Chains A and B, each alone.
Chain A
Amino acid sequence: MAQEAHGAIYDLLAVRGVSRRDFLKYCSYVAAMLGLSEAAAPAIAAAVEKGSKLKPALWLNGGSCTGCTESMAQVDSPDVATIVLELLSLNYFETVMAAAGEHAEKNIKDTIAAGGYLLIYEGSVMTGEDGNTLLVNGHKGTDILKEAAESADAIIAVGACAVDGGWVAAHPNPAEATGVQAFLDVEGVKTPVVNIPCCPMNPEWVVAMVVQWLLVAEDDPATFLAKTELLGKTYADRLTGRDVTLLYPKYVVGSTIHDNCPRRGHFENGDFVTEFGSEEEAMGYCLYKMGCKGPQTFTQCPITRWNRSVSWCVQSGAPCIGCGAISWVDNNTPFFKRLSSMQMGDGLGYVQPGSVAAVVGGVAAAALVAHGLGMKAAGRIGPDGPPTETAKKHDRKRQAKGGDK
Chain B
Amino acid sequence: MAGHAHYREAHPLVFVITHWINLICMIMLAFSGFYIHYPFFGGFMGVARGMHFVAMYVIIINLTFRIIAAFFVKTATDLGSRQVDTDIKNWLPQEKNKHQFFETVKYYLFMRKEAVISAKYGSLQKIAYLATIPLTYLMAYTGFAIYGPTMTWGLFSGGVEMVGGPMNMRIIHYFMMWVFIVFTMIHAYLANIYNFKPSKIIFAWKESE
Contact = CB atoms under 8 A, between A and B. Distances in A.
Interface string B151-178: 0000000000110111110110011011
A110 B168 CA distance: 46
Interface residues of A, number: 55
Interface residues of B, number: 49
A353 B175 contact: yes
B178 A357 contact: yes
A331 B168 contact: yes
Contacts of B194: 380-383, 385
A234 B160 CA distance: 10
Nearest to A378: B110
B1 A340 contact: no
A254 to B, nearest CB: 9
A388 B1 contact: yes
B200 interface: no
A365 B168 contact: no
B195 interface: yes
B42 interface: yes
Interface in A281-339: 288-289, 293, 296, 322, 325-327, 331-332, 338-339
A302 to B, nearest CB: 15
B2 A339 contact: no
A367 to B, nearest CB: 9
Contacts of A272: 39, 42, 45
A326 B164 contact: yes
B143 to A, nearest CB: 14
Interface stretch (A72-80, A94-102, A263-271): A263-271
B45 A268 contact: yes
Nearest to B42: A270
Contacts of B47: 270
Interface in B67-85: none
Interface stretch (A187-195, A207-215, A368-376): A368-376
A65 interface: no
B116 A389 contact: yes
Contact of A296 (B1, B44, B46, B165): B165
Interface string B96-140: 001110010000101001111100000000000000000000000
Contact of B103 (A233, A383, A393): A393
Contact of A368 (B49, B99, B113, B185): B185
Contacts of B177: 357
A387 B115 contact: yes
Contacts of A103: none
Contacts of B42: 270-272
Interface in A328-367: 331-332, 338-340, 342, 353-354, 356-357, 360-361, 364-365
B181 to A, nearest CB: 6
A385 B171 contact: no
Nearest to B100: A392
A361 B114 contact: no
Interface string A378-405: 1011111111110111110000000000
A263 to B, nearest CB: 12
Nearest to A254: B152
Interface in A228-278: 233-236, 256, 259, 267-272
Contacts of B182: 360-361, 364
B109 to A, nearest CB: 9
Given A271-B42, A381-B193, A384-B3, A368 B186 contact: yes
B37 interface: yes
A365 B167 contact: no
Contacts of B37: 338-339, 354
A392 B99 contact: yes
A288 B148 contact: no
Contacts of A386: 1-2, 113-115
B39 A289 contact: yes
A368 B181 CA distance: 13
Nearest to B197: A383
A215 B154 CA distance: 31
A364 B188 CA distance: 13
B171 A269 contact: no
Nearest to B116: A389
A385 B115 contact: yes
A326 B165 contact: yes
Contacts of B38: 289, 338, 354
Contacts of B99: 392-395
13 contacts: A233-B161, A296-B167, A368-B189, A380-B115, A382-B194, A383-B195, A385-B194, A388-B1, A388-B115, A388-B116, A389-B115, A389-B117, A394-B103
Interface of B: 1-3, 37-39, 41-49, 98-100, 103, 108, 110, 113-117, 146, 148, 161-162, 164-168, 170-171, 174-175, 177-178, 181-182, 185-186, 189, 193-195
Given A236-B164, A353-B174, A386-B114, 20 more contacts: A235-B164, A256-B148, A268-B49, A293-B167, A326-B164, A339-B37, A357-B174, A364-B186, A381-B194, A382-B2, A384-B2, A385-B1, A385-B194, A386-B2, A387-B114, A388-B1, A388-B114, A389-B116, A394-B100, A394-B103
